[in-house]
Amino acid sequence: MQKLGLVLIIVSFFPWLAIAIIIPFLPISVAQKALLIPALLVLAEVIFWLGVLLVGKEVAQRYKRYLSFRYLKILLRKFRRRRSKRY
């Protein structure tokens, strides 16, 4: 069940990519795009939370740590330090 949950969490990012990359270039009217975007956003959220429910609280908290701004900030600092040591 955890693997299915992780797959659902990963798949939940595809509608976001579709909104950013595909929808602006579709040959449909602006009104249709305006209906499609919120529908995809709701779909992405539903898929994401179903995945979180399937993986469980412990796994969700572990992956939440990797997606937090604090952790990303630390990674960015480490990356900058490594680059500055090269030059």
Question: Model confidence over 16-71: pLDDT tens digits?
Answer: 999 999 999 999 999 999 999 999 999 999 998 899 899 888 777 777 777 777 88
Confidence at residue 70, expressed as pLDDT on a 0 to 100 scale: 84
The sign one gets for the Cα dihedral 23, 24, 29, 33 is positive
In which residue are the tokens 């659902």 written? Answer: 8
Whole-model pTM: value is 0.66
Confidence at residue 86, expressed as pLDDT on a 0 to 100 scale: 65
What's the rounded mean pLDDT across residues 8-22?
A: 93
